[in-house]
Amino acid sequence: MPELPEVERATRLLRRSLEGRTLIDVQTLHPSAARSLPHTVAQSVLGHVVTAVERRAKYQLLTLDDGRVIEVHFKMTGDWAIGPVSLDPPPLERVRLVTDDGTRISLVDGRAFAVVRVHAAGAVFLPPLGAEPLDRDWSGAVLREALARKRGPIKPALLDQRVVAGLGNIYAAEALWEARIHPLAKANRLSVARVTRLADAAREVLERAPSARYYGKRATENGYTYALGDGDDESWRVYGREGEDCARCGAAVKRIEQAGRSTYYCGGCQRV
């Protein structure tokens, strides 16, 4: 599943291609896409200019000149494929946007779970979200306040989008390894020093994230530029490395399940 760094990269690519452009064609090409973006709604955005492309958590938000907002969420396997309209459509195209400069922007999605919706101007449609971990003012103090009422383990707490917006399973595990914190440690009992170290670690792993990681898909293919390209999982310190030696202390990396997700950690240097 694309996590915050991947969605941020996708948003930047989309911004370069779409911001300031007029939509001249919008099509839904799969039944699942039509459930969230019916044909009549898709047609209603034609002729409108995209004035801003922004990200909030894992949501991509396209603001139109009439104030409406197009919400995009990649879900499990969504991606952008961007190229000229002269090319053949990319495989697995679910939604197509065409701009006045002849660019086709295709939402491609193998599982067809991705969502595109249009919201009225001023509508409140995002769920409650916490602070963004890449914002300049995000800090250990902000994180500690968000964790104050979280009595359970720290790893699931970090996946609560009301605590940290956009932090996902992989980067939560990586941040806990960097901060030397066991994933079962009680979230609201961590010391100020440990929470500060955790906030710094989360920012570090997000900023150094592989910019082109994602399910072996190439960054360019058949003339299209994809937002999410080939991945190199060798950069992970613990994620997916069960049974391997910890790069820091040499102890074995372990795996447990928390809230239905796999959690990886070092049994030697991550302490409760």
Known catalytic residue: 2? yes
Q: Is 261 known to be catalytic?
A: yes
Backbone angles phi, psi at 117, to 5 degrees: -135, 155
CA distance 39 to 266: 50
For 222, the token pair is: 């058949």
Neighbours of 261 (CB within 10 A): 15
C-alpha angle 156-115-224 in degrees, rounded to nearest 5: 110
Identified catalytic residue from 75, 186, 255, 261:
261
Q: How far is CA 34 from CA 2, 55, 92, 95, 117, in A?
A: 22, 23, 15, 9, 10
Q: State the alpha helices, DSSP H only, in the chain.
A: 4-18, 31-36, 39-44, 140-147, 154-159, 169-179, 192-207
Annotated catalytic residue: which of 3, 6, 71, 174? 3
Which one of the listed residues 9, 58, 96, 254 is annotated catalytic? 58
Instruction: Name, in order, each residue with C-beta under 8 angstroms of 135's C-beta and a sequence gap of 6 or more.
Output: none
Rounded CA separation 133/150 (Å): 18
**257 has catalytic annotation:** no
Q: Residue 176: name the closest of 57, 271, 58 by CA.
A: 271
221 included as an active-site residue: no
Catalytic residue numbers read 2-3, 58, 261
